[in-house]
Amino acid sequence: MMTTLDALRKYTTVVADTGDFQLLKQYQPHEATTNPSLILKAAQQNQYRPLLVKIVNDHRHQGIDSIMNQLLIAFGTEILALIPGRVSTEVDARLSFNTAATVAKARQLIALYEAAGIARERVLIKIAATWEGIRAAEQLEQAGIHCNMTLVFSLEQAIACAAAGARLISPFVGRIYDWHKTHAGVAWDEQKNSGANDPGVRSVKQIYNYYKQFGYATEVMGASFRSTTQIIELAGCDLLTISPPLLEQLQTSTIALERKLTPPSSANEPLERITLDESAFRYQLNDNAMATEKLAEGIRQFAVDSAKLETIIQALQA
């Protein structure tokens, strides 16, 4: 009998949200995504200690920034040996409001990948979807460096990313759900706000429909899931990046799955086209409390985990 995971693969490209090589072998995703939190988690595991130590020893006399770059490339290269598609490697979140520095960091990472024999077409540079990050992606895409715009929580962010020509965006389903549930407090009705009515699910569907109606080439990759129900409701999305525990649940399930997202036909109610300059983007993002708070929170957390990883590296340098 077909598993739910195999059924999902019929409609959607399955991506593993992990830096754990062993789990990639187990679930055989087409692509993989990483972020500072996932790399930190992997680097703290005994099985990856030799890789971390080797990177530090080989580049001991270089600065911490250079060693961090080498570590990201080492993980990315190992991951690419296990998957047929692309890997997403994240720019330091502390550069999220600096366009020039983000572009420079992305170019460094791509140069290191290419020096390791990896074609740039197999790498997506992950950048937070701030205004400055989106402008960096615009420059990078024009140079043939493809970007995964992360921490997307609003249609406005998604529209700005597509207008800039970003290759892919990652709307965070679970974190949107978390915010609405937390702010509703005791008034939250799980049954009413689950399935197709889940606020995170509805956000991704809105973005997907907008992109397909207006012919944007930017891919939509739902991310940050809290349950397999959220994943099943987005079957048909271009890509879905899924954590190992949820991949396991899908692999051991035989629940029937049908396609939920399809490109809008002419019979669908047309959406209004939205044009955003910097002022409109900043105002509309500011007017969306959920998106503003979760974007800021995500950047802070990734920055904290990058700093923790640097501390581990510095201890090994001592």
What pLDDT, on the 0 to 100 scale, is given for residue 42?
Answer: 86
Cβ–Cβ under 8 Å, residues 53 and 277: no
* Tens-digit pLDDT profile for residues 5-20: 999 999 999 999 998 8
Looking at the annotation, which residues are catalytic?
Answer: 126
Query: What H or E segment, with its residue span, contains residue 26?
Result: helix 21-27
Crossing angle, helix 64-80 and helix 289-317, to 10 degrees? 100
* SS3 per residue for 61-117: CCCHHHHHHHHHHHHHHHHHCCCCCCEEEECCHHHCCCHHHHHHHHHHHHHHHHHCC
Per-domain residue ranges of the chain: 4-317
Tens digit of each residue's pLDDT (9 = 90 or more) over 67-94: 999 999 999 999 999 999 999 999 999 9
DSSP secondary structure, 264-317, as one string? --TTSPPPPP----HHHHHHHHHT-HHHHHHHHHHHHHHHHHHHHHHHHHHHHH
- Tally the residues of the chain: 318
SS3 (DSSP) at 48: helix
- φ, ψ for residue 91, nearest 5 deg: -70, 145
In order along its 318 residues, the chain shows pLDDT tens digits of 899 999 999 999 999 999 888 889 999 999 999 888 888 888 888 988 889 899 999 998 899 999 999 999 999 999 999 999 999 999 999 999 999 999 999 999 999 999 999 999 999 999 999 999 999 999 999 999 999 999 999 999 999 999 999 999 999 999 999 999 999 999 999 999 999 999 999 999 999 999 999 999 999 999 999 999 999 999 999 999 999 999 999 999 999 899 999 987 544 667 889 999 999 999 999 999 999 999 999 999 999 999 999 999 999 887
Positive or negative, the CA dihedral 90, 178, 271, 288 is negative
What number does CATH give the domain 4-317? 3.20.20.70
Q: Which pLDDT score, from 0 to 100, does residue 36 have?
A: 85
Instruction: Collect all residues with Cβ–Cβ distance below 8 Å to 231 and sequence separation of at least 6.
Output: 8, 222, 225, 240, 242, 246, 250
Q: In this predicted structure, what is the pLDDT of residue 22?
A: 85
Model pLDDT, residue 268 = 62
- From residue 287, alpha-carbon distances to 32, 204, 209, 290, 292 in Å are 33, 19, 22, 9, 8
Sequence-ordered list of residues with C-beta below 8 angstroms from that of 89, at least 6 positions apart, any chain: 34, 72, 73, 76, 109, 113, 123, 124, 125, 126
**Which pLDDT value is given to residue 194?**
96
With 0-12 / 13-18 / 19 or more C-beta atoms within 10 angstroms meaning exposed / middle / buried, residue 303 is middle
pLDDT the model gives residue 269: 67
Whole-prediction pTM value?
A: 0.95
Q: Are 72 and 109 in contact (CB under 8 A)?
A: yes
Tokens of 278: 């910097």
